[in-house]
Every structure is written in C-alpha cells, then in structure tokens.
Amino acid sequence: MVREDWVARARKHPGSTLEDIQDEPEWSWGHNHRVGFRNRHNRFPGQTTSSKPPGHDDEVVGEARRRFGHLEEKMSKEGRVNFRDIVQGLEDFHLLHPETRPMGCRFVLECTEDWVKYEQDWPADRKKEDKDDGEETQQEPQESKQERSPEESAFLEALKQEREYISNLGINDGNQKSPQTDNLADVDIDQADHFTPDNWFPRSPLLHRLTGSHPLNAEPGLVDLYDAGLITPSYLHYVRNHGSVPRLLWEFHKLDVEHGKLTLSMDELVDQFKAVNIPVLIACDGNRRGELNKIKKSKGFTWGSGGAGCAYWKGALLRDVLLAARIQDPSDAPNGVLNGVHTKKKRYWVNFEGADNLSEGKYATSIPLEFAMDPANDVLLAYEMNDHLLPPDHGYPVRVIIPGYVGGRCVKWLKRIWVSDKENDSYYHTWDNRVLPSFVTDMDGEFANQLFHHPDTACNEQNLNSVIPSSADG
C-alpha cells in the first residue's frame, strides 16, 4: 500500500473582535488564590470582596473617639461609670488592625472590677459608710496604738531628721566656707621627727604612725575621726608619704604646664584663676589593708580603717589652667584635630609630677584628659585645705585634688603638668596603686609584668566603703 503524505494547511485566523478585546478581564489585577499562602498583595486570599472602601478606617476611629469622649464626659460629670459604659466607650482596635499590634497582645479594659465596684462614689456605698461610721462612734476603740520601743523611736526620729536634712540640701556653688574651724595644730616638733628630714614642721600626735618615724604614713583613730564630724580637721586627715616632704617656698615655687607653654607662680595661680572651694573625700587605695593582711599577707603595709578624710579643698580648676595653656578640650576638637594633631581613634592623658625626690625617681601619674576637661568633674589645683594654706604633709603649696578618685592620683607638691598620647610610665604609676590577682606573688614574673602594665589593674575611681567606728550596747 502506498503511503500518502499529510499536509496541514493553516487558515488565517481572523483574531478577536474589538468587542472581545475591550471586554477581556485584567488578568494581572485579580487575586492569585492559594489557600493558606499570601498572594502578591501580601494578604491571605479567601474573601470575595475587595479591600475596605476608602475612608472606612477613618470613620471607625472617629466613631471610637466620639464614644470615648462621651465616656470621659460622663465620668467628669457624674463621677462614676458602670461596666456597660466602659465597654461601649472603648473600641477593640485589636480586631480592626491586628497587624499593628505586637504578637500575643490582648485587649483589656482600662480599669479593674474592684475600681468599678468599690473605688467609685456609689450612692448605696455612701449610705452604708454613713451607717458604719455612726456605729463606730458609739463603740469604744477595740485596739490601742502599739507602743514603740526606745530603739524604734530613736531610729524613727533619726530617719525623720535625715529626710529633712537631705530635702534641704542645696547646690554647692564652690564659694562656701569650710564649717570645720578646729584647725589647731601643735607647734612643737614631734620627737619621732627630730632626726629625720621632716624635722622642720609640726605634726599631730593624734595620728598613729604605721611605718615608723620616716617616711610618715599615719591615720587617726576611728573614734576621733567620727567625733570630728563630716568635715575632717586638717590635723586629723590621714597622711601618705613615699619619702621626705620637700621644702618648697610660696615665693619661689613655679608650676610648669605643657613643657613651658605656661608657667605659673603661686600668686599668679591664685590671682588669675577663679577659685573653687568644695568638700572632697580622699581615701588611700590601701585603706583597710590590715584586714586583708590578716587573711593573706600583701606587699603593702598595714592600713587600718582611718585612711580616709573629707576636707574642704580650695583652688583653681585644672580645666581652666589647661585651657590657658592652649590645650584644647577633646570634646571641642573639630574634625578630630586636637592642638593641630589628628586625634581620631586616639586617647590622651594629662600627667602630674610632684617635686619630691624619691628612691625611684619623681612621683608622677596620669588620668584621662577627657575626665580632666569635663566641667562636671571639678578637678582642682588646690592651695588651701579647710580655708587655710595646705599643711606640708598635704602638698604645700599646691596639689591635685580629683573628686571621686583615690588619693594616689592626687599628686602633692605639684611641679609639672603635661599632656601625652599614652599613660604615664613612671615607676610609681606603673608599680603602685594597683590591684592584682592573688596568684601574682612577685614582681618579676611575666604575669606580674603584664598585669602591672595593664590599664584595668590601676586604681582610679574610689570604691564605696563603710566601717563601724565604735560599737555600743543596745
């Protein structure tokens, strides 16, 4: 059988009529219904109607505000509302717009059942209260007032006085006088100082020497310190010396700032800068080391609990002196440029050095420049203590006072100030005034070397501390 070839001949399709084209639906506009999945409009399909008519939400919100206003008006006029008023006055927007609520939030009424029933002024409650009050006036009190013990009464009175005192505290403007007027000191040279380099000025016999006759490291008795009051007399303030006290003269002493950019005599420091007089508590960072030494012997000598004192210190603000030496505040440096140097990602320190000559060189240390330049920190170059010139043991003629810092950063007999881009590397800044882990038992090991140079081991901010100066029966 002979195979025949099939030939397909396509006719020309006439196409859609103009009417068909105009009536064709907009296939890209409708919902792509897939139950359980979001469509292109980010919603779950299933409703046969389109979105809410324009302005629907505005009408609902407006109606809710009207009903809520009616609820507030009724509350202000009548002084009470019931549950029906509350339910009708509050709209549950959680049902209207659940997508604008955090997951899991519920709609709750803005009141409690107890408030509706018992905390509003209902007429029935007033009648009951009037009846109860009448019955109580006819009866004698069933319970007498519980009497307090003498200790409780004294404690309550102390709380009242303390509350009244604190509520009346004002802002210290730095112009106050020290309330401590007991600044009398012995004029006789202590016998323990007769054959020491410090035999040229008197010291108080009320201080207990902790390291022999020289150098002086001494503290007052706790009872004497407590009895003196909140402001410590100068002669009772603890003393921490590393060597002999330098013999400095007011007339000759010069303060060098930033390597000669500014040199100040004591008269210039007093006359050219505004003086601030504020109470500052200073404590040695070794205070109460004696208690630690009873548990495990440390390298430091045995301080008791008296290595702290709060006196009025008067002097010029360090910030003002640094600005006078054209040292710019880092917070004011434009575009990260401080004194012509790019400071981005760079820290600076202000260094202090005393005039005392010690076995390991000058006593020097440093604090962050940002802290020193902060007007709220009140870092002082002090030349008075309790409204009198500094005693020799406390830094005459000028010393650093850093409120909130340990005494080891408050350099005495101040001679030099300068700014650097690294911490001070002097012996006493590196190897003194630090707290190390207990496993470091010597200063020669690698752990000791790393930790003594680590910034986190340095003692700066003063820790909160408290001690009972004396115990009594009762």
Which residues are part of the catalytic machinery? 284, 432-433
Specify whether the backbone of 258 is left (phi greater than 0), alpha (psi in -120 to 50) or beta: left
HSE at residue 327, side-chain half, CA atoms within 13 A, is: 24
Judged by DSSP in three states, 227 sits in helix
Beta-ladder partners of 399: 382
348 neighbors 419 (Cβ within 8 angstroms): yes
What is the β-pairing status of strands 414-420 and 254-257?
parallel
Q: Measure the CA–CA gap between 154 and 439, rounded to whole angstroms.
A: 48
The H or E element spanning position 64 is: helix 56-78
Q: Which residues pair with 220 in a beta bridge?
A: 207
How many angstroms separate the CA atoms of 407 and 281, rounded?
Answer: 9
Question: Is the distance from CB of 31 to CB of 39 less than 8 angstroms?
Answer: yes
CB neighbours of 232 closer than 8 A, spacing ≥ 6? 180, 225, 309, 310, 311
Q: Give the span between the Cα atoms of 313 and 280, in whole angstroms.
A: 7
d(CA 189, CA 202): 4
Here the tokens at position 358 are 């010690």
Q: What is the DSSP letter of 401?
A: E
Neighbours of 195 (CB within 10 A): 9
Phi, psi of 170 (to 5 degrees): -115, -175
Which contacts of 329-336 are long-range, i.e. CB under 8 A and separated by 24 or more positions? 329/373, 330/369, 330/370, 330/373, 331/370, 331/373
Q: Which residue has the tokens 């010069």?
A: 254
Instruction: Assess contact for 245 and 198: CB atoms under 8 A.
Output: yes
